[in-house]
């Protein structure tokens, strides 16, 4: 499968299906991040064998990609299972390549049915509709553009309902831990 294209507003979409971003109509970015990173060997803190791969903010700062929240299946074929959410974008789909892989629900698109993001700068979680055929619902309302997520919101993809549980907020976030460690040194 071809990689997704990213528009200037940060949306990801399939450029073979769409000539411009289906979410906002903006054309793709003219920057090839993979090529840019590959030209700068040793840039970032990429582990051996991952040179040229994009590194998340927390992973670069902390050396790990920690959990920032969870999705817990409260109904559907995977009821009772939980899925980790990490910083930045988490793609939801049936494929094992997805960050949140719900393989047992055949009504979920294979790739990019929806996206849950966490922005470490403002500690906000958002839900985005994917670029697949399937619809996404938040608390029974169709999601047609990015919406903010709050504790105990219910996301519906296919036949699966997911309860959203944040870990990071004003009360706790991983930058806070890093700041405390730096003060102790």
Find out whether 117 and 89 touch, Cβ atoms under 8 Å. Answer: yes
92 C-beta neighbours (distance < 10 Å), count: 30
Angle CA(139)–CA(121)–CA(82) in degrees, nearest 5?
A: 45
The residues spanned by each domain of the chain are 1-54, 67-166
Looking at residue 74, its pLDDT comes to: 98
- φ, ψ of residue 14 to 5 degrees: the values are -85, 110
11, two tokens: 């949306």
Structural contact between residues 24 and 9, judged by C-beta atoms closer than 8 angstroms: yes
Burial (CB < 10 A; 0-12, 13-18, 19+), residue 49, is exposed
CATH of 67-166, one of 3.30.70.3270, 3.10.20.30, 2.60.200.20, 1.20.1440.130: 2.60.200.20
Q: How many other C-beta atoms can be found within 10 angstroms of the C-beta atom of residue 159? A: 15
Q: How far apart are CA 185 and CA 180, in angstroms?
A: 9
Nearest to 127 by CA among 101, 103, 157: 157
User: What pLDDT, on the 0 to 100 scale, is given for residue 36?
Assistant: 35
Task: Give mean pLDDT in consecutive 10-residue pieces for the chain, a chain of 185 residues.
Answer: 63 68 58 38 42 66 85 97 95 96 96 96 95 95 97 97 95 71 52
Q: Which of 104, 102, 100, 107 lies closest to 128 in space, CA to CA?
A: 100
Residue 175: predicted pLDDT: 77
* Other beta carbons less than 10 A from residue 185's beta carbon: 4
Residues with Cβ within 8 Å of 17's Cβ and at least 6 positions away in sequence, in order, are 131
pLDDT score, position 63: 74
């Amino acid at each position: 499968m071809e990689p997704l294209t990213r528009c200037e507003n940060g949306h990801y979409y399939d450029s073979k299906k769409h000539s411009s971003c289906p979410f906002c109509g903006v054309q793709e970015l003219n920057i090839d991040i993979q090529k840019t990173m590959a030209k700068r060997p040793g840039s970032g803190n990429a582990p051996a064998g991952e040179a040229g791969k994009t590194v998340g903010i927390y992973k670069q700062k902390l050396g790990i990609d920690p959990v920032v929240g969870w999705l817990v299946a409260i109904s559907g074929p995977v009821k009772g299972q939980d899925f980790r959410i990490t910083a930045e974008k988490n793609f939801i789909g049936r494929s094992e390549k997805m960050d949140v892989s719900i393989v047992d629900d055949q009504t979920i698109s294979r790739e990019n049915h929806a996206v849950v993001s966490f922005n470490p700068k403002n500690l906000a979680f958002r839900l985005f509709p994917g670029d697949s055929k399937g619809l996404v619902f938040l608390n029974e309302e169709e999601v047609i553009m990015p919406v903010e997520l709050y504790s105990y919101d219910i996301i519906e993809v296919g036949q699966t309902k997911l309860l959203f549980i944040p870990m990071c907020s004003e009360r706790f976030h991983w930058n806070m831990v890093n700041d405390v460690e730096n003060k102790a040194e």
